[in-house]
Amino acid sequence: MGINHLAFAVKDMAATHAFYTESMGFELVKTEIVPKETGGFARHAFYSTGSDRDQLIAFWDLANDVGAGTDFKTDISRDLGLEPLTNHIAFQADDVDDLMAKKQHWLDHGNTVLEIDHGWVHSIYTEDPDKIAVEFAVVTRPFTDEDRTEAAALLFAEEPTPSTEKIRATLHQPGVDEPMVLMGADS
């Protein structure tokens, strides 16, 4: 069972549309206009992230919704007092080569990119115009029975041992040739 769609309210639909079509490479497939009892309407735009049947992401444009106001918060981590990447949306990359191509695409579109090789999954992160963290990721090794046993043991452990995977994190800035190593063997 997969996810049909996730939906988020945004403040600037034009900026959101540009980011998700240009930087993310998603396709706008449907927009619904929803009349509001308080006056005006809301726009609900759906973008395909893979399949047109599911794997969608949607955004609410509330600019014409009289009852919504304009002072709502959209940063799903910082607005809750959490670190920026705590709440994020992760999308699948085909393989590490595809992930590196997506990283370069983000950089070419002016996005700062955090790259983390977690040891079992390789990820890149950036933020959309509403400061929602988005990620492309690829699992780099199959899960083992040992992984499953350890996951179950750690899930509710009162004093869990820290993960032992070797993590490498680098920050890539648009227009800067050398990335900044934040964590890993070279730091």
Confidence of residue 1 (pLDDT cuts 50, 70, 90): low
CATH number at residue 93: 3.10.180
pLDDT, greater one: 32 or 67: 32
In a domain, 74, yes or no: no
Distance CA 20, CA 22 (A): 6
Distance CA 69, CA 56 (A): 26
pTM over 0.85, yes/no: yes
Q: What is the pLDDT of residues 79-94, one digit of tens each?
A: 999 999 999 999 999 9
In a domain, 170, yes or no: yes
- Residue range of the domain that includes 47: 5-61
In a domain, 66, yes or no: no
In a domain, 72, yes or no: no
Residues 127 and 47 placed together within one structural domain of the fold = no
**Residue 187: its pLDDT value, please?**
46
Distance CA 41, CA 64 (A): 5
Residues 91 and 171 placed together within one structural domain of the fold = yes
In a domain, 100, yes or no: yes
Q: What value does the mean pLDDT of the chain take? A: 92
Residues 46 and 110 placed together within one structural domain of the fold = no
In a domain, 69, yes or no: no
Give me the sign of the Cα torsion angle 98, 129, 73, 81: positive
CATH number at residue 54: 3.10.180.10
The stretches of the chain forming alpha helices (DSSP H) are 13-18, 96-108, 145-155
Burial class (CB in 10 A: 0-12, 13-18, 19+), 103: buried
Instruction: Please name which of 96, 128, 91, 162 lies closest in space to residue 12, comparing C-alpha atoms.
Output: 128
Confidence of residue 69 (pLDDT cuts 50, 70, 90): confident
**Residue 18: its pLDDT value, please?**
97
Q: What is the pLDDT of residues 148-184, one digit of tens each?
A: 999 999 999 999 988 888 899 999 999 998 999 998 8
139: tokens are 């699992």
Q: Per the structure, how many domains does the chain have?
A: 2
Residues 57 and 86 placed together within one structural domain of the fold = no
* Mean pLDDT confidence for 132-156: 95
